Structure 1
Amino acid sequence: MSHLDLFGSKKRKRGERVFKFKTFGEQGYPVDWGGTFWQNVESLLEFGNLEGDLCCGMASWSFQLEVHRHPPVHVLLFVVEEPMEVSLDRQCKHCQFVGWGHHMICNKKYHFLMPSKDTVVACLNYHGRPPDSTKAQPNLVELQGHIMHGVFHSNGFGHLLCVNGLEMGSGLPGCQIMDFWDRLCSGLQARKVSLNDISQKKSMDLRLLHGIAHGEPWFGRWGYKFGRGTYGVTQSMYQKAIEAIQSIPLSLLVHHLGNSNHEISIIFSRYQTLSGHSLATLGDLFHFMLELKSRLPKESCVDSYNSRILVEKSCRWSPKRVEMATRVIVEALKRAEFRWVSRQEVRDTARAYIGDTGLLDFVLKSLGNHIVGNYLVRRSLNPVTKVLEYCLEDVSNACLNDHEGLTTSDSKTKARYMITRVQLMKDMFYLYKHVLKEQKTTMTWGILATIPLASRIILDTKYLIKEHCGGELKVQVGIASKSKIYCTIVLRKDNNDVDERLQKVMAPYECFALNSNTTFDELKTQVEQRFRRLYWGLRSFVVQSIVNLNVKGSDLVFGLVEVGGKVVFEGTNVGEIGIIVSEDIFEGTQNKCVMNCGCGAKDNDGERMVSCDICEIWQHTRCVRIPNNQEIPSIFLCSRCEQDILLFPCLP
């Protein structure tokens, strides 16, 4: 993603400010995050470059972020403002799936996205089209495959829609993207952020692997926890499933599966030998494997006890001569005491022993980021001198060749238990496939029946939520004359009838910084303006009274309410009869369909569903045994309606 530029370097503004990717979102970078969410967004956009028509009439800003200076690598962050007036989908399906369908629709959404190469190409192709082309303009928000795409509602609730790391060709590791996203959410003072965890590694679901190994999903390292399970899964079910599958004894698995699958016994033995402590359970094994993976070199390595590098058949030097030159170069680097040495310096030292300079050049070229013995030969271009430099890195601990039971003289035993990252991933996938996923007949009874059931529950827990803050405003230091108070509203259908659903689910509290002499009339005006600004269904909202507080408009707020206290206002929308009772003011589709699935689910959780053609009750297709690869039948009857039909008397 070097020098990522959406419209070509000539169209970018000269002197455009470049921000550090690794500090963007921290306090002061680029703004002092001191307000509520929507205030922080507005402050941030002042530092962005206003872009052209990228998103079909929606305003957008860009930020150029520097990932590395040497070599220069940049990415672009786009912020797109989506007003409800131009939104194609007024109601948010992500809110509904995660359980926020009772939230009121906000006036605006803000999309934060980093385009990938593919999405950049799609936009470049459109802007490079002939003037008379009828090709439709791609909407940057709707394009799939971004490096990162997150969306916030203007009240501070948001959703992380996608993160695509190295495996998807983004050029950025997933952990760095998540670090950036987490800083951004914290800086903006987001309230809560959800995500749909479908992350995979080598076709393995990370929520299952990390759930067994660490008791939490991969996103758990950034504070994301159980939000909502699909297919009726509750948080208690999720925790019990993790504990059950973690505690499966390895000895029991070997006893029941070892006779029919010798590879499983070999894998267990391999990692038990490598481990410095006993691996008793399935949770211990996966925890050790993931920890070991993080310590192994990322580069492909050869046998750690064979100092030869890979030699092609067409190579004009024999393997023995290549091995000799490799040993000489590594010994020369050892004498440098692990400091960076220029290529010429290494070459000159090695020439005292190897006269063939062509052979030395070949080996130096081949040794870049290659493991020889217990050392990784690092190669890098010095950003200042533009000269290739080499350095040794001791990876003996990563390769785990000194563990108990492996004597230095028993090289054959060492080689047998030598492990590389490729081999480890292969072993992990084998266990994932044959122990966690495939339901063998030997795993359908006793304690082993726990594995497929617990795995299914963990995989059905996809919606995760992180609570960043409760919307509290960080009052700036030095403003002693202002104090904060929290306010929310309850809607009325008319002057005497309070909407029970709206009263039960109020809008999130908003923070107001008030002077000590602020009156309730002044606070009332601020509350009306704030909630009209935030919510699409409150554009004509008028406060009528205060709940459980008998006050006059001229009374001072802090004479009756403590600093940091909460006040609830009642009101209605004047002049827009019908909008209050309309379901369209909510993010979810309230009472438009009835769901009563056998798994216990009562709300739409985003999984595929089918409706009975008689009672019109919705159920999951999986729960009524319609495979995912099979189309939903044109006529479907639930089991209850089928039973009722069978009880009908026969016609004469």
Structure 2
Amino acid sequence: MELQDHIMHGVFHSNGFGHLLCLNGLEAVAGSNLSGRQIMNFWDHLCNALRARKVSLNDISTKRGMELRLMHGIAYKAPWFGSWGYKFSRGSYGVIQPMYEKAIDTLRAMPLCILVHYLGSSNHDIPIIFSRYQMLSDHSLTTLGDMFQFMLELKTRMAEENLLDSYTGPGMFVEQSCRWSPKRIEMATRAIVEALKRADFRWVSRQEVRDAARIYIGDTGLLDFVLKSLGNHMVGNYLVRRCLNPVTKVLEYCLEDVSNIVPTQDPKVKTTIHQYRMSKSQLMKDMLYLYKHILKDYPSSLNVGILSVVPTAVRIILDAKYFAKEYHEDQHQARVEIGSEDKLSVYCTIMLRNNNINIEGTTTTLPPLLPPFECVRLRRSATFNELMVEVEKIFRDLYWGMKNLILDSVANLEANGKDLVFGQVEVGGKVIFQGSNKGGIGEEMMYYEGGSNWNKVVVCGCGAREDDGERMVSCDICEVWQHTKCVGIPHHQPTPQIFLCKRCENEIVTLPAFP
């Protein structure tokens, strides 16, 4: 269980619930030729074949030091595992789903122009990287979500050593087989930019731009080619925008002067076309640079206005790493409603009551338990007594801690043992039984995710009220648990032998002195 060098490690329970514990792609396992996406596809097919009901995972996946749940959350509004249908299950440190979704929406919608305005003066690389990919894209990249999504999609289209042949200067990327020379393309681009400068309105239709530039460039094929390739590209100190008018459904162009954003270039560079090549390695470096300087190492001195929410939103997304996928719950129910031998199905679960146990001389009552519903197939003439016997057998087999389960009544229906089940319950309906589980000390604990810590009281300043799997420390006076991170204990330091929470510490300080 402790080994981490598996290509894939999953656990599947007999009642259809599973957990993906480990997934390692090309970079993690030596000699493996399977990518993480290939392995995940196999796991998803396996879960479908085994008729999974629900599968969970703890997403701590990284790529060259970048947390994928943060990158893909900003790019796609979902984690990397979201491509296979995994969604938010629960968060740590008090994070709930609305907080998680709001944090993602906030970062996705962060305007690039705002980031450049505040970060560009102290970091000239960020606006240069932004403009580089705005030139590459054939659609407008205006937000952080647009930028990361385009970069991730571009990475998947590039082989490991694939190079993009490109031309800078006019801000266009030209195929090597293009029938026009770079010089003619540059002349046509300048003519179009000059036409946009002279336009009476900010947005100009494609036809109007083409007609104005045709005075200087007679080759309409060349103009069409440049107009098709020029949208959302840099030309000198101008960014050429292109969009579809939502009313007229006509392509329109405009110019944005970015000279106050992008560092001033050498005038000679503006008038000369330079060819350069971009590799996948360069793309990853740019992505890592933006990740580090915008998301992870964001300067606290720039926490102004809308940018002040960046560190908080990043923390919330990273504190949401438990995801789950609901598989064939509906199909599972539909396929067994009517079976062979005239058997019908109902769905049953149990609720334990008066389940007292003795821990260190103290009698404690376990909280109510309501496991997932299980399918039970019965004859049409079966009684509740017969159903109760079947449910006892199923739950004793499924749960190690319920070997002594005894059921005695129906909790959600007014029913006697001799009553017919299908006289009161529809086919595919749900029945909850009550009972007890008298067993040895320790067995009762095993059907709780928290194990023997089921009775710990969690009241943390972050808002958490239950054990979320993160490291915690207990106050030696009130015995309330809190996250070590929230009380200021560094992750690399062990928990102190004696710890007092702030409330108990303050109460001790305010106690009157003894005479």
TM-score interval, normalised by the smaller of the two chains: 0.7 to 0.9
Say whether the 8 Å CA contact 2:337–2:345 is kept in structure 1: no
Match of 1:290 among 152, 158, 164: 152
| Partner Cα separation in structure 2 for residue 597 and residue 171 of structure 1 | 45
The equivalent residue for 1:437 is: 296
Say whether the 8 Å CA contact 1:490–1:502 is kept in structure 2: no
Q: Does 1:489 align with 2:350?
A: yes
* Larger deviation, residues 588-597 vs 246-255: 588-597
Say whether the 8 Å CA contact 1:164–1:174 is kept in structure 2: yes
The equivalent residue for 1:274 is: 136
| Partner Cα separation in structure 1 for residue 412 and residue 484 of structure 2 | 48
Structure 1 residues 547 and 635: alpha-carbon distance in aligned structure 2, compared to 1, 3 A threshold: closer
Say whether the 8 Å CA contact 2:337–2:427 is kept in structure 1: no
The equivalent residue for 1:250 is: 112
Q: Structure 2 counterpart of 1:535, which letter? A: Y
Say whether the 8 Å CA contact 1:611–1:617 is kept in structure 2: yes
The equivalent residue for 1:569 is: 433
Tell me the percent identity: 55
Match of 1:424 among 273, 283, 295: 283
The equivalent residue for 1:48 is: none
The equivalent residue for 1:187 is: 49
SS for the counterpart of 1:545 is: strand
Q: Structure 1 counterpart of 2:400, which letter? A: W
Match of 1:613 among 476, 487, 490: 476
Deviation of 1:623 after TM superposition, in Å, equals 1.1
The equivalent residue for 1:375 is: none
1:264-323 Cα deviation digits (max 9, x unpaired): 111011011111122111111111111111112233548679xxxxxxxxxxxxxxxxxx
Q: Does 1:454 align with 2:313?
A: yes
| Partner Cα separation in structure 2 for residue 491 and residue 522 of structure 1 | 19
Deviation of 1:590 after TM superposition, in Å, equals 5.0
Structure 1 residues 626 and 472: alpha-carbon distance in aligned structure 2, compared to 1, 3 A threshold: same
Say whether the 8 Å CA contact 2:164–2:278 is kept in structure 1: no
SS for the counterpart of 1:259 is: coil
Q: Structure 2 counterpart of 1:626, which letter? A: I
Q: Does 1:232 align with 2:94?
A: yes
Q: Structure 1 counterpart of 2:3, which letter? A: L
Match of 2:460 among 597, 605, 617: 597
| Partner Cα separation in structure 1 for residue 498 and residue 3 of structure 2 | 34
Q: Structure 2 counterpart of 1:620, which letter? A: H
1:186-216 Cα deviation digits (max 9, x unpaired): 2222222111110011110001100111111
Deviation of 1:155 after TM superposition, in Å, equals 2.9
SS for the counterpart of 2:275 is: helix
The equivalent residue for 1:148 is: 8
Alignment TM-score, normalising by the size of structure 2: 0.72
Q: Structure 2 counterpart of 1:522, which letter? A: E
The equivalent residue for 2:122 is: 260
Deviation of 1:631 after TM superposition, in Å, equals 3.4
Match of 1:508 among 363, 368, 372: 372
| Partner Cα separation in structure 2 for residue 520 and residue 651 of structure 1 | 67
Structure 1 residues 426 and 579: alpha-carbon distance in aligned structure 2, compared to 1, 3 A threshold: closer
Q: How does 1:462-481 map to 2 (within 5 A)?
A: 462-470=321-329, 472=333, 474-475=335-336, 479=340, 481=342
Q: Structure 2 counterpart of 1:464, which letter? A: F
| Partner Cα separation in structure 1 for residue 159 and residue 272 of structure 2 | 22
Q: Does 1:632 align with 2:495?
A: yes
| Partner Cα separation in structure 2 for residue 166 and residue 447 of structure 1 | 39
Say whether the 8 Å CA contact 2:18–2:54 is kept in structure 1: yes
Match of 1:157 among 11, 17, 23: 17
Gaps of 5+ in 2: 168-175, 178-227, 236-269, 356-363
Structure 1 residues 412 and 613: alpha-carbon distance in aligned structure 2, compared to 1, 3 A threshold: farther
SS for the counterpart of 2:49 is: helix
| Partner Cα separation in structure 2 for residue 245 and residue 489 of structure 1 | 44
Q: How does 1:8-407 map to 2 (within 5 A)?
A: 141-169=1-29, 170-301=32-163, 404=231
Deviation of 1:411 after TM superposition, in Å, equals 12
Q: Structure 2 counterpart of 1:428, which letter? A: M
Deviation of 1:448 after TM superposition, in Å, equals 1.0
SS for the counterpart of 1:642 is: helix
Say whether the 8 Å CA contact 2:163–2:278 is kept in structure 1: no
| Partner Cα separation in structure 2 for residue 406 and residue 645 of structure 1 | 66
| Partner Cα separation in structure 2 for residue 413 and residue 208 of structure 1 | 37
Gaps of 5+ in 1: 1-140, 306-326, 331-400
Deviation of 1:645 after TM superposition, in Å, equals 2.3
Structure 1 residues 485 and 476: alpha-carbon distance in aligned structure 2, compared to 1, 3 A threshold: closer
Q: Does 1:558 align with 2:422?
A: yes
Say whether the 8 Å CA contact 2:56–2:323 is kept in structure 1: yes
Q: Structure 1 counterpart of 2:24, which letter? A: N
SS for the counterpart of 1:193 is: strand
Deviation of 1:227 after TM superposition, in Å, equals 0.9
Deviation of 1:569 after TM superposition, in Å, equals 2.1
Size of the alignment, in residue pairs? 410
1:126-184 Cα deviation digits (max 9, x unpaired): xxxxxxxxxxxxxxx44332111111333332221110011113321111111111122
Structure 1 residues 549 and 428: alpha-carbon distance in aligned structure 2, compared to 1, 3 A threshold: closer
Structure 1 residues 538 and 635: alpha-carbon distance in aligned structure 2, compared to 1, 3 A threshold: closer
| Partner Cα separation in structure 1 for residue 334 and residue 148 of structure 2 | 42
Deviation of 1:218 after TM superposition, in Å, equals 0.4
1:88-124 Cα deviation digits (max 9, x unpaired): xxxxxxxxxxxxxxxxxxxxxxxxxxxxxxxxxxxxx
Say whether the 8 Å CA contact 2:138–2:229 is kept in structure 1: no
Say whether the 8 Å CA contact 2:338–2:344 is kept in structure 1: no
The equivalent residue for 2:251 is: none
Q: Structure 1 counterpart of 2:507, which letter? A: D
The equivalent residue for 1:529 is: 393
| Partner Cα separation in structure 1 for residue 447 and residue 78 of structure 2 | 35
Q: Structure 2 counterpart of 1:472, which letter? A: Q
Q: Structure 1 counterpart of 2:288, which letter? A: F
How large is the RMSD of aligned CA atoms in angstroms? 3.1
The equivalent residue for 1:121 is: none
Structure 1 residues 547 and 448: alpha-carbon distance in aligned structure 2, compared to 1, 3 A threshold: closer
Structure 1 residues 520 and 643: alpha-carbon distance in aligned structure 2, compared to 1, 3 A threshold: closer
Say whether the 8 Å CA contact 1:300–1:422 is kept in structure 2: no
